[in-house]
Amino acid sequence: MPYPGSRLHARIGTFRQLEIFIKFAETGSISQTAQELHLAQPSVSIQLKKLSENLEVPLVEQVGRKLYLTDVGKELYKSSLEIFDTLGRLESRLASLSGLQAGHLKLSVVTTSKYFFPHLLGPFCQRYPNIEVSFNIGNRGAMINRLRENKDDFYVFSHPPEDIEIETMEFVSNPLVVVAPTEHPLADKKSIEFSKLKDDPFIMREAGSGTRYAVEKYLMETGNTVNEKLTIESNEAIKHSVMSNLGISILSVHTLAQTSSSSFKILDVIGFPLKLQWYVVYLKNKQLSDVARTFLEFLQQEGGEIAGQLLCNSVAKGYV
């Protein structure tokens, strides 16, 4: 709350200007900002200029053909996120006081968890139809960046970052298995040593993904190697590549649940499945909104059971 004598709040501009500024800061593009906010490009430029004039400092600088935030612009971006975060909590509290559970829930999950996490949102959204949900999906590296910038309420990782102060809640198992074409020479063998696969063409997820992080950690700890031939940014594309006899891979069981078990073979490799966990993560000391707390309670009380049932279905199919 501004103290007497502070007039910054009178110069900061409108919430709409801050909303436009946040979107520009995230896209770095006038045209993309206009497109995503359904505005004309001149309108975006005018509002950014007005905001800068009100604050009497430059927020954007042009280097060559690209626009960049100034140091002041970067600071305003961080503060603007905090302002809208506070408004979101206020909206949630007002709704709670009136007896109506409403507000905005912001979630970001790593790519592999998209196979089960929407199954949790269905029951939650049916129970609280007035809650608006933003659901963002990306690889582990992208999610860590969002976490650092405090863009969302919760994040889902299999390998939470160790260099950020966070709260974690262990959620559900995330077994990783070795996937091969159905005609692989070792398809029917038992207790296969991983070293026997070192010459097979290996399909790896991209740098920054949680699955790649887990595979590289396993290789480093065991001293094994793989013959990496393909790098693919999609679990679905990896599955189809394996089914097309392009190589073998290591994937989460959750990615296989919607695929016929006759389309590929899970190899019986010693040490597999790799027994990992999914975690729900949020920044330490983050002020959770009432909506966020409601969702966290839902996950603690019911979410694990729902996700666990999906995993049991995979077990029944013989994936683990």
Alpha helices in the chain (DSSP H): 8-11, 15-27, 30-37, 41-55, 71-97, 117-127, 140-148, 210-222, 235-243, 290-298, 304-316
pLDDT score of 282 more than 70: yes
Helices (H) and strands (E) in the chain, counts: 11, 11
Determine, yes or no, domain membership for 22.
yes
Minimum mean pLDDT range among 9-18, 126-135, 169-178 = 9-18
The percentage of the chain sitting over the pLDDT mark of 90, rounded to a whole number, equals 33
CA-to-CA dists, residue 50 to 2, 20, 77, 251, angstroms: 22, 12, 16, 50
Minimum mean pLDDT range among 51-55, 148-152, 221-225, 229-233 = 51-55
- Domain housing 66: 8-78
Determine, yes or no, domain membership for 88.
no
Single out the residue in 78, 110, 132 at which a domain terminates: 78
pTM: 0.64
Nearest to 48, CA basis, from 84, 20, 89, 25: 20
pLDDT score of 285 more than 60: yes
Residue 147 tokens read as 């976490």
- Residue pLDDT, tens place only, 97-119: 555 466 789 999 998 888 888 88
Q: Are 130 and 216 members of one domain?
A: no
Residue 95, pLDDT score: 65
Are 148 and 210 in contact by the 8 Å Cβ rule? The answer is: no
Q: Are 187 and 235 members of one domain?
A: yes
Nearest to 44, CA basis, from 177, 121, 243, 36: 36
Residue 312, pLDDT score: 54
Q: How far is CA 19 from the centre of its chain?
A: 22
Determine, yes or no, domain membership for 166.
yes
Q: Are 257 and 134 members of one domain?
A: no
Which residues have CB under 8 Å from 313's CB, separation 6+?
257
Residue 258, pLDDT score: 65
Q: How far apart are CA 78 and CA 302, in angstroms?
A: 34
Residue 307, pLDDT score: 66
Q: Are 111 and 260 members of one domain?
A: no
Q: What's the mean pLDDT when you consider all of the chain?
A: 84
Q: Are 54 and 22 members of one domain?
A: yes
Q: How far apart are CA 233 and CA 192, in angstroms?
A: 28
Mean pLDDT, rounded, for 143-155: 92
Residue 131, pLDDT score: 86
CATH number at residue 188: 3.40.190.10
How many structural domains are present in the chain?
A: 3
pLDDT score of 260 more than 70: no
- Residue pLDDT, tens place only, 196-240: 999 999 999 998 888 999 999 999 999 999 999 999 988 889 999
